[in-house]
Structure 1
């Protein structure tokens, strides 16, 4: 999970000031993802990232 978070922070530095409001791991057998939900503390907007556990690809 730390590597997934580091990847999100590197590509989307604004998320460093957001609160993590949800995190999960989804395993479908042939593929798996980390799902991380961030919420902006000021505006209350949220963004969800799906990170491929095998490749590290980040999909907002």
Structure 2
């Protein structure tokens, strides 16, 4: 358990950084409001699943 925890934490940090970066890059693109809302919802859903199933807080 103690060995897995730092790995899981690092993995979560990588995923969080990637999703934040993707969200930031996407927000820089010209897009319709509907698409932007959809992407934000997808990113939010991914974060929710990570915290619920992979790395409960």
Q: If each structure's strand is expressed as a fraction of its own residues, which one has the higher value?
A: 1
Is the pair's TM-score, using the shorter chain for normalization, greater than 0.5? no
TM-score under structure 2 length normalisation: 0.25
Which one has a larger percent helix, Structure 1 or Structure 2? 2
Q: Which has the larger radius of gyration?
A: 2
Relative contact order higher in (CA < 8 Å, ≥ 6 apart): 2
Q: TM-score, normalised by structure 1?
A: 0.24
